[in-house]
Each structure stands twice: as structure tokens, then as C-alpha cells.
């Protein structure tokens, strides 16, 4: 059920990201709050709202501090959020039996690789990215996931879900930055590479044999 709720929250956040340039800060905030009603983790998307605020860097830092302070307030004052935050903190970080996600490094890598590639090829891709400012913010935030991974692999894995827009913005722009004659080959390589990752996960994940949804119905009978 938690996965279903977070999928709903991620879907709403992705809608916000898809219309980032056309939306006002007020609209973004409202949509993120709605997403957080399904899963509290969606509140992390406010980081992008603050980072994109067209004010001086000092005021953005102050706004980020206010956001962290507000999160701390929510964790103690509002029952809806405080219970969830307390549960996740105990389950993912502070408890001696905190949940560990062995596959989190792969999840982070699937976002980190296009983010790192964007940092390298950003000049080449200039003019091809639909929202370069958003992709730039997402790329830098993705690099922080490497640090978060060592604090809590499960938290890092969950946060990658809100960064799906990074590869969604990067890969089309990366392909378009090449001559038309080369685009089909590059697209084929990207698709086959991701399909191989999916196939390996489905067949060789450490819990593939025990978890029925990982099985293929065609091979069950």
C-alpha cells in the first residue's frame, strides 16, 4: 500500500515537473502539497521550488532553512505528518533493525548516470533541453543521493522516484544533440541498455524467486 500511495504522489510530482516552466510557484506548491497527502516524501519536491525561486542566493538559502524548520515543525505538530515522519525515521534510519535496500545503489545509478552525463555534455546539449534549469537542479540534487545512500539506502532509493524527470529530460535532448543519421543508433543503444537492466532485475534480483509480481505469467504454466 505504501508503494501504491507513493506511486500516486510521484505521478502528481511528475505532472508538476512536466509543466514546470508554465506553472507559477503557487501552483507548484499546491500540487506538491496534494502529492504529500498521498505520501509524505513528496514534500522533498519543495527543494526544487526553492531552488528555482528567482531571488538572491542568500534568500534562497534562508528559504531552504525555513523549509527544513517547517518540516521539523510538521514532524511534531501535525499528526498526519508527524506520525508518518516518525515511522519513516524509525524504519529507515534510527532503528537497529532499519530497512536496508540492497538494490538502492542500482536505483541511484539509473538516475546518477544521466545526471553526471548532463554535467559533462551540457554545452553540447544547449538548446536541445526543454527545461535546462530544471534539469540542472535535478542533476545536482541527484549527486547528493550518493551521500544519502551511505546514510540510508532505503531513503536514497525512495528519493530516486522523484528524480525520474532527470533521465526523461536528458535522454531525448542527448539524442537530439547528434546528427539525424546517428540518432536511431543512439536511441537503440539506450533502449536496449535499459531493457537489459530490467531483464537482469526481473530474473536475477535477490528476491525474484520469492516475489510473485517479479515472475512472468507466461512461464508459470
pLDDT digits (tens, 9 = 90+) for 47-98: 888 877 776 677 777 777 777 676 666 655 655 555 655 666 555 555 555 5
Among residues 195, 171, 168, which one has the least CA distance to residue 183? 171
Q: Looking at residue 41, what DSSP letter applies?
A: G
pLDDT at 35: 92
Instruction: Name the 3-class secondary structure at 102.
Output: coil
Q: Rounded to whole angstroms, how far apart are CA atoms 54 and 44?
A: 19
pLDDT band at residue 204, thresholds of 50, 70 and 90? confident
Alpha helices (runs of H) in 46-163, residue ranges in sequence order: 46-51, 57-77, 79-89, 104-121, 132-151, 153-160
pLDDT band at residue 142, thresholds of 50, 70 and 90? confident
Question: Which residue has better confidence, 78 or 38?
Answer: 38
Question: Which residue has better confidence, 52 or 45?
Answer: 45
pLDDT digits (tens, 9 = 90+) for 147-198: 888 777 777 888 888 999 999 999 999 999 999 999 999 999 999 999 998 8
Work out the percent of the chain whose per-residue pLDDT is above 70.
76
Q: Rounded to whole angstroms, how far apart are CA atoms 77 and 123?
A: 46
Instruction: Say what the pTM is.
Output: 0.74
Amino acid at each position: 500500500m505504501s508503494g501504491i500511495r507513493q506511486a500516486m504522489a510521484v505521478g502528481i510530482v511528475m505532472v508538476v515537473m512536466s509543466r514546470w516552466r508554465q506553472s507559477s510557484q503557487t501552483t507548484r506548491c499546491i500540487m506538491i502539497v496534494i502529492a504529500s497527502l498521498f505520501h509524505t516524501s513528496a514534500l522533498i519536491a519543495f527543494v526544487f521550488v526553492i531552488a528555482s525561486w528567482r531571488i538572491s542566493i542568500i534568500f534562497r538559502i534562508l528559504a531552504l532553512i525555513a523549509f527544513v524548520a517547517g518540516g521539523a515543525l510538521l514532524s511534531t505538530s501535525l499528526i498526519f505528518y508527524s506520525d508518518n515522519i516518525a515511522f519513516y525515521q524509525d524504519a529507515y534510519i534510527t532503528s537497529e533493525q532499519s530497512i536496508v535496500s540492497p538494490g538502492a545503489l542500482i536505483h541511484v545509478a539509473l538516475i546518477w548516470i544521466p545526471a553526471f552525463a548532463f554535467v559533462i555534455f551540457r554545452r553540447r546539449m544547449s538548446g536541445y533541453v526543454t527545461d535546462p534549469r530544471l534539469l540542472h537542479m535535478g542533476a545536482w540534487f541527484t549527486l547528493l543521493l550518493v551521500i544519502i545512500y551511505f546514510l540510508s539506502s532505503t531513503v536514497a532509493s525512495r528519493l530516486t522516484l522523484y528524480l525520474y524527470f532527470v533521465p526523461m529530460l536528458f535522454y531525448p535532448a542527448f539524442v537530439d544533440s547528434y546528427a539525424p543519421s546517428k540518432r536511431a543508433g543512439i536511441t537503440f543503444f539506450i533502449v536496449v541498455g535499459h531493457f537489459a537492466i530490467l531483464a537482469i532485475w526481473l530474473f536475477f534480483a535477490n528476491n525474484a524467486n520469492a516475489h510473485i509480481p517479479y515472475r512472468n505469467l507466461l512461464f508459470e504454466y
